[in-house]
């Protein structure tokens, strides 16, 4: 349509005011427009409603580890496609796309660091990589992290954020639940501390293994924590609605599955305090 026709048809051209990307962020909790630079200072907690924005694994590392202390381990370890699995897409293509889009090689970032001066082995899952699912390499990275913690006498902190087991790897994925759990058993026998931090969302095989095995299990406010997802449960029960607060950290706490809920801005101090209190002599700096 040319300008003359446009005028004739009564349309007006609006001057579109572009908001540069990455400056403002609409809160998924209350819809408030938050200034991103301010959100960063507030640890990505909405000042209006307290909603905890989803964080990437590198952001959790910045939040939790002492500045400059994090050294990544097994950075290049990644899943292969041993079953040559295909659903609506080839799993090999999903892996490629996940690596390209997230810049990660796996659904967990692992490394050693200090927190409040205490040596820790830190694993942080990341939902940008195939929904943070637990694949063979994810489990292997966590198992190696726990091995390293036993050698160095470090506390282990795992930040969970996952849709559960990675179905495209079948049993190879499911056995990671047992493998990581067995490693955590060894860590406990060595008298070392393990804290699991459940963030939104923590589901399936992660909840059913290392998510729930922490000596202390902490959740972020409002995090969804469960086994089967809400849509699966609705389907199974043949219902449209579930009770208020279903699978939300605050309800899960009331039912005794987690130990405490800690706001993200209080996490570094809280974790450092727990490590200092609960680690055996010789494992605290
Ligand atoms: Zn909000």
Q: What residues flank ion ligand 1 with Cβ within 5 A?
A: 27, 29-30, 32, 46, 48-49, 51
Note the residue count of the chain.
285
148 and 273 share one domain:
yes
pLDDT of residue 283: 65
Expressed in angstroms and rounded, the spacing between residue 52 Cα and the centre of ligand 1 is 8
Q: Is residue 125 part of a domain?
A: yes
* CA pair distance 177, 270, nearest whole angstrom: 27
Q: Is the pTM higher than 0.85?
A: yes
Name the packing angle between helices 57-64 and 267-278 (round to 10°): 60
- The alpha carbon of 42 and the centre of ligand 1 are apart by a number of angstroms equal to 12
Decide if pLDDT at 15 tops 70.
no
- Kindly report the CATH number assigned to the domain that includes residue 203: 3.90.226.10
* Average pLDDT value for residue range 39-59: 96
Residue 110 covered by a domain: yes
Q: Examine residue 201 and say whether the peptide bond preceding it is cis (omega within 30 degrees of 0).
A: yes
Domain hosting 74: range is: 55-278
34 Cα–ligand 1 center, Å: 8
Tens of pLDDT, residue by residue over 79-94, are 999 999 999 999 999 9
Could you tell me the distance, in angstroms and rounded to a whole number, from the CA of residue 53 to the centre of ligand 1? Answer: 9
Confidence tier at 279 by pLDDT (50, 70, 90):
confident
Q: How confident is the model at residue 11 (pLDDT cuts 50, 70, 90)?
A: low
- What was the pLDDT predicted at 9? 58
How many angstroms separate the CA atoms of 207 and 174, rounded?
12
| 244 and 86 Cβ atoms separated by less than 8 Å | no
The count of domains in the chain is 2
| 267 CA distance to ligand 1 middle (Å) | 20
Mean pLDDT of the 12-24 span = 61
Alpha helices in the chain (DSSP H): 3-8, 36-41, 57-64, 91-102, 136-152, 170-189, 204-207, 230-237, 249-254, 267-278
Residues 47, 96 within the same domain? no
């Amino acid at each position: 349509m040319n300008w003359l026709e446009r005028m004739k048809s009564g349309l007006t051209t609006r001057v579109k005011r572009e908001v540069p990307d990455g400056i403002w962020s609409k809160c998924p909790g209350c819809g408030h427009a938050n200034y991103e630079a301010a959100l960063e200072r507030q640890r990505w907690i909405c000042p209006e409603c307290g909603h905890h924005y989803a964080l990437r694994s590198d952001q959790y590392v910045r939040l939790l580890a002492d500045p400059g202390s994090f050294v990544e381990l097994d950075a290049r370890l990644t899943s292969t496609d041993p079953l040559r699995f295909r659903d609506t897409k080839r799993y090999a293509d999903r892996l490629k796309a996940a690596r390209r889009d997230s810049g990660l090689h796996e659904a967990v970032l692992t490394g050693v660091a200090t927190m409040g001066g205490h040596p820790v082995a830190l694993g942080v899952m990341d939902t940008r990589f195939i929904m943070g699912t637990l694949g063979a390499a994810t489990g292997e990275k966590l198992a190696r992290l726990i091995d390293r913690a036993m050698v160095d006498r470090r506390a282990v902190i795992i930040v969970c954020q996952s849709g559960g087991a990675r179905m495209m790897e079948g049993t190879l994925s499911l056995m990671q639940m047992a493998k990581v759990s067995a490693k955590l058993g060894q860590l406990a026998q060595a008298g070392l501390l393990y804290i699991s931090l459940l963030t939104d969302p923590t589901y399936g095989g992660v909840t059913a293994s290392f998510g729930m095995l922490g000596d202390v299990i902490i959740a972020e406010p409002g995090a969804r924590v469960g086994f089967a997802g809400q849509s699966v449960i609705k389907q199974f029960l043949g219902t449209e609605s579930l009770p208020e607060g279903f699978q939300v950290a605050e309800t899960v706490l009331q039912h005794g599955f987690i130990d405490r809920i800690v706001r993200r801005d209080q996490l570094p101090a809280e974790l450092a305090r727990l490590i200092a209190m609960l680690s055996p002599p010789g494992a605290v700096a």
